[in-house]
C-alpha cells in the first residue's frame, strides 16, 4: 500500500478545521490552547502545500473560499472520526488519574454540586474535576463534557441516562418585598408582582400562566439567565423567582410565596454520559459517585 495522500501534516488539517469552524485564527488558537501565530502558520503551510487558497484574509477574521468550503467537508469528516477515536480511546483507558469534565446547570453547579465535588476530591485526589456551568444543552457526542447533569433527557443517541433525583421548587421572595406587595394571598394579587425570568421567550411566564396566572412581559422587568444573579436580586427584594425548595427554605432573607392554587414546580434531573465513556474507570467512578451522592441528598432532604 502506498500512502502518498496521507503523508501531509494532519495537524494542519486540524488547524484548518478549527479555524474554519471558529471563524478566526485567534478563536481557533483559544479553542486548541495554542497561539494565533502557530495556527496561522499551520493554515498557511497547508494552503501552500496543497496549492489551494482556503481562506480570504479579511480585516475581521477569515472567510472560507469556495474551494475551502468544499475541502472543509473532508477535514470535518476527519474531525468526526477523531472525535470517535478520542471517545472510544477514553472509554478503553483504565488509568484513574486525569481530568473529568462535568457540565450542568448553574443552579446545580452553584448550590448542590460543590460539597459533592469536595468529597469526591478527597476520596479520589487523582481525578481532576472541571465544571462547565451553563444552561445550554451540550453535545456529549463531541465530548464537550464527559458527564452532563441536566433536567431533561437528551435526545442524542449513544448516551447512557440515569435519573438522579426529583427536584421540587417554589416561588420565593424577600420578606420585605412581600410586605411591600401587601402580603398577597391569591394568585390574582400576585399578578401585579414582578418576577425574574431566564430569557425573553418567558419560560417562567408560560409556566405560571398555565397555573392560572395572568402575567405579561410587564411583570418581568429583569431578565437574566444567571441563576446566581436571579437569587441575589430576589434576596435584595427586587422581584420573585423560582428556586429549589431546599435552597430557598434555608435562606433566611426570603420565604416561600404561598397562595391557594399555586402548586410546586417539579422536574426530574438526569445524569448522562456517553456510552463509550461508561467503560472508562475514571468516568465510571465519578458517574457512580454522583449517582450515590444524589441518592443520599434526596433521602436526607426527604426525611427532613
Partner DNA sequence: CATCAGGTATACATAATTGTATGGATTGGC
Partner DNA sequence: GCCAATCCATACAATTATGTATACCTGATG
What is the contact surface with its own copies in residues (CB under 8 A)?
1-11, 13-14, 17-18, 21-22, 31-33, 50-52, 67, 70-71, 74-75, 77-90, 92-95, 98, 101, 138, 142-145
* 68 is a site residue for DNA (CB under 7 A): no
User: Shortest distance, CB of residue 160 to its own copies, whole angstroms?
Assistant: 17
Q: How far apart are CA 13 and CA 17, in angstroms?
A: 6
- What is the crossing angle of helices 25-32 and 36-50, to 10°? 110
Element (H, E) at 266: strand 265-274
Return the number of the residue (235 or 281) whose C-beta is nearest its own copies: 281
- What is the crossing angle of helices 10-22 and 25-32, to 10°? 120
Write out the binding residues for DNA, residues 15-44 only, by CB under 7 A.
24-27, 33-38, 40-42, 44
Write out the binding residues for DNA, residues 74-113 only, by CB under 7 A.
none
* Partner touching 292 among DNA, its own copies, none, CB below 5 to 8 Å by kind: none
* Partner touching 271 among its own copies, DNA, none, CB below 5 to 8 Å by kind: none
Q: How far apart are CA 74 and CA 54, in angstroms?
A: 13
* Partner touching 51 among DNA, its own copies, none, CB below 5 to 8 Å by kind: its own copies
User: Shortest distance, CB of residue 239 to DNA, whole angstroms?
Assistant: 27
Q: Binding string to DNA for residues 48 to 67, with x set by CB under 7 A, is what?
A: ---------xxxxxx-----
User: Shortest distance, CB of residue 19 to DNA, whole angstroms?
Assistant: 7
User: Shortest distance, CB of residue 113 to its own copies, whole angstroms?
Assistant: 19
Q: What is the DSSP letter of 64?
A: E
274-287 in b/e burial notation, b at 16+ Cβ within 10 A?
Answer: bebbeebebbebbb
User: Shortest distance, CB of residue 46 to DNA, whole angstroms?
Assistant: 11
254-256 vs 159-174, strand pairing mode: antiparallel
HEC letters along 141-165: HHCCCCEEEECCCCCCCCEEEEEEE
Residue 267 phi, psi dihedral angles, 5° rounding: -155, 160
With CB under 7 A as the rule, give the number of residues binding DNA.
Answer: 23
Which stretches of the chain are DSSP H helices? Answer: 10-22, 25-32, 36-50, 66-92, 106-111, 113-123, 175-180, 187-190, 203-209, 227-235, 245-248, 281-303
Return the number of the residue (20 or 269) whose C-beta is nearest its own copies: 20
* Partner touching 218 among DNA, its own copies, none, CB below 5 to 8 Å by kind: none
Please say whether the beta carbons of 100 and 128 come within 8 A.
yes
Return the number of the residue (98 or 237) whose C-beta is nearest its own copies: 98
Return the number of the residue (197 or 276) whose C-beta is nearest its own copies: 276
* Partner touching 136 among DNA, its own copies, none, CB below 5 to 8 Å by kind: none
Q: How far apart are CA 261 and CA 241, in angstroms?
A: 17
User: Shortest distance, CB of residue 15 to DNA, whole angstroms?
Assistant: 8
Return the number of the residue (1 or 263) whose C-beta is nearest DNA: 1
Q: Which residues bind DNA (CB under 7 A)?
A: 9, 11, 24-27, 33-38, 40-42, 44-45, 57-62
Amino acid at each position: 500500500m502506498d500512502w502518498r495522500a496521507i503523508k501531509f501534516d494532519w495537524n494542519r488539517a486540524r488547524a484548518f478545521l478549527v479555524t474554519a469552524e471558529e471563524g478566526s485564527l485567534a478563536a481557533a488558537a483559544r479553542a486548541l490552547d495554542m497561539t494565533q501565530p502557530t495556527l496561522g502558520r499551520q493554515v498557511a503551510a497547508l494552503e501552500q502545500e496543497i496549492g489551494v487558497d482556503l481562506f480570504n484574509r479579511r480585516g475581521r477574521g477569515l472567510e472560507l473560499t469556495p474551494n475551502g468550503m468544499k475541502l472543509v467537508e473532508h477535514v470535518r469528516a476527519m474531525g468526526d472520526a477523531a472525535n470517535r477515536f478520542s471517545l472510544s480511546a477514553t472509554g478503553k483507558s483504565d488509568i484513574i488519574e486525569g481530568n473529568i469534565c462535568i457540565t450542568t446547570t448553574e443552579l446545580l453547579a452553584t448550590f448542590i454540586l460543590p460539597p459533592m465535588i469536595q468529597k469526591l476530591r478527597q476520596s479520589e485526589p487523582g481525578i481532576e474535576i472541571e465544571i462547565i456551568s451553563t444552561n445550554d444543552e451540550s453535545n456529549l457526542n463531541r465530548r464537550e463534557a464527559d458527564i452532563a447533569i441536566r433536567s431533561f433527557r437528551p435526545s442524542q443517541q449513544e448516551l447512557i441516562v440515569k435519573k438522579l433525583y426529583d427536584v421540587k421548587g417554589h416561588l420565593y421572595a424577600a420578606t420585605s418585598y412581600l410586605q411591600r406587595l401587601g402580603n398577597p394571598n391569591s394568585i390574582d394579587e400576585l399578578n401585579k408582582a414582578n418576577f425574574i425570568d431566564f430569557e425573553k421567550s418567558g419560560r417562567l411566564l408560560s409556566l405560571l400562566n398555565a397555573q392560572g396566572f395572568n402575567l405579561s412581559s410587564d411583570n418581568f422587568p429583569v431578565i437574566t439567565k444567571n441563576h446566581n444573579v436571579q437569587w441575589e436580586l430576589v434576596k435584595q427584594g427586587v422581584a420573585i423567582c423560582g428556586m429549589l425548595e431546599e435552597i430557598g427554605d434555608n435562606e433566611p432573607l426570603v420565604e416561600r410565596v404561598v397562595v391557594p392554587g399555586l402548586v410546586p414546580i417539579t422536574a426530574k434531573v438526569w445524569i448522562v454520559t456517553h456510552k463509550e465513556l461508561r467503560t472508562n474507570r475514571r468516568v465510571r467512578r465519578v458517574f457512580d459517585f454522583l449517582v450515590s451522592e444524589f441518592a443520599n441528598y434526596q433521602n436526607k432532604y426527604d426525611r427532613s
